[in-house]
Amino acid sequence: MVVSGIDLGTQSLKTLVYDSDEKRVLALESAKIDLISEEGGVREQKASWWIEALLSTFSRIDRKIKERIEAIGVSGQQHGFVPISESGEVLSNVKLWCDTSTSSYSEELIDKYGGSSKLIEELGNTIMPGYTLGKIYYFIKEHRDLYDRMRYVLLPHDYLNYYLTGRAVMEMGDASGTGLLDVRRGLWSKELSDLADPSLFERLPELRRENSIIGIVSKEAQRALGLKEGVMVSSGGGDNMMAAIGTGTVDNGSVTMSLGTSGTLFASSDSPIIDKSGIMAAFRSSHGTFLPLLCTMNCTVSTEIFRSLFSLSVKEFDSIAESSPIGAEGILVLPFYNGERIPNYPNGKGVIAGITNSNLKRENIARASIEGPSFEFLLGLSTLEELGLKAKTITLAGGGAKSRFWRSLISDMTSIEVRVPVIEESAAFGAALQALSEAEDRSISSVVRENVEFDDTKSAKPNYGNTEKYRKVYNEWLKYVKALGPIFS
């Protein structure tokens, strides 16, 4: 079967077409998307830009390939707020996951509910600054006239589904990043929505409890995209949920680390993982399980800052980093350059610690700039283990996964073999595989086993003798992280 996966990111929209019989990608197109950035943490986009990008990517796919597509799945950046009217009009710019301008509204709702601890205890998650609910509450209080016209709250991937099918629905994975979902029960929290506004609950879309086909591509969208009649659209999900499928993280204990500009670690779990410390978000997956997740704001940001400072190529930077010993002779980097989400240091800054008159060398700083973000992942893995989930496999994705040294470092640090998927566009590929699973009414595990392949040349096996060395450095790194909490919180 030929299926398509669409990934709506912050910087671009990508459309992938995959042939499950031939096990190959038939087409991959991308279109850039602008970003509105203003003082005070405003980060927005226009939903119309997403549609333009979608049309652009499909216009560049060969007609004969498009006519073979049987089903489509959509992945999207999480936490964005798309308010639509009864007629489908988008009532404002879309506030994105990285918009921090409404953080005070999140804090107000947390206080009204009784605090973060109570939210985590009762619903599974607190309302993080980027979550959708704070944006909704801002809209209610500051744009009441528009809110009164709003019929549905949608997330970015839901809006593309709405464009494709005319149906306003939401699935559990992406919904768990709104701040409104009772993660254990898989239901909207009426108590919390009523605190924002008594009329909000009726504006929340239908929750799909099971993965399914949500509709057929409408005739209007079919003509615009050049598709045949009857193309099915799956429920889709958030980009992390789709990346879990695209990297094979669908069975209990499997873990993916995404080494991108920001860093993400998520694990597949058969049961809810509720972290009272708030380090791991208690998300659901988009394939019927749970997806505890850690997200950091600074990952390859760390290496790029110092690589630019030293005027080195990527290969040169990796080479000098590898020439430094584990622990970089005492140099530690706290990579909180843009503030940080985990640990929750919104006022965080980058720190180089442990400098002496003998260890301040390029190679030590280079290595520490890789070890620092990696320790944030180790914090997530350690937290998961404390909560009863031990990682069995680690799959790496993102730009950092291309570094042989970084792959080896992660494997040694965690004492777990590391693997890298053949298909790098994990979110778009995962959306395509979800569409395949739902169209053929097959389990996602069987679809993943048959279609997700790994590049043996990029795997890394642990040197167990190095694991304890990294743990000692990690413990020193944690001391600095905790000591700077009063300044960065």
Please state whether beta strands 181-182 and 150-154 pair in parallel, antiparallel, or not at all (unpaired).
unpaired
pTM metric for this prediction: 0.94
Q: What residues does 387 pair with on adjacent strands?
A: none
> pLDDT value at position 328?
98
Give pLDDT tens digits for 324-341. Answer: 999 999 999 999 998 888
Q: What angle do CA 178, 179, 180 make, to 5 degrees?
A: 90
Please state whether beta strands 36-38 and 42-45 pair in parallel, antiparallel, or not at all (unpaired).
antiparallel
> pLDDT value at position 159?
98
Name the E strands within 202-272: 206-208, 213-216, 232-234, 237-238, 254-259, 263-267
Burial of 159 (0-12, 13-18, 19+ CB in 10 A): buried
Please state whether beta strands 393-397 and 206-208 pair in parallel, antiparallel, or not at all (unpaired).
unpaired
Give pLDDT tens digits for 184-205. Answer: 999 999 999 999 999 999 999 9
Domains of the chain, earliest start first: 2-240 (3.30.420.40), 249-420+459-489 (3.30.420.40)
Given a contact cutoff of 8 angstroms between Cβ atoms, the answer to whether 150 and 166 are in contact is no
Q: In degrees to the nearest 10, what's the CA dihedral of 45, 49, 50, 54?
A: -160
Given a contact cutoff of 8 angstroms between Cβ atoms, the answer to whether 154 and 162 are in contact is yes
Q: If you average pLDDT over residues 2-16, what whole number do you get? A: 97
Residue 237 in this model has a pLDDT that exceeds 80: yes
Of 174, 239, 275, 412, the catalytic one is: 239
Residue 411 in this model has a pLDDT that exceeds 80: yes
| CA-to-CA separations, 306 to 68, 237, 309, 378, 386, in angstroms, rounded | 47, 35, 5, 22, 34
Residue 210 in this model has a pLDDT that exceeds 80: no
Report d(CA 246, CA 437) in Å as an integer. 12
Residue 32 in this model has a pLDDT that exceeds 90: yes
Residue 212 in this model has a pLDDT that exceeds 90: no
> pLDDT value at position 489?
84
Look up 239 and say whether it is catalytic: yes
Confidence category of residue 250, pLDDT binned at 50, 70, 90: very high
Confidence category of residue 25, pLDDT binned at 50, 70, 90: very high
Burial of 55 (0-12, 13-18, 19+ CB in 10 A): middle
Give pLDDT tens digits for 103-159. Answer: 999 999 999 999 999 999 999 999 998 899 999 999 999 999 999 999 999 999 999
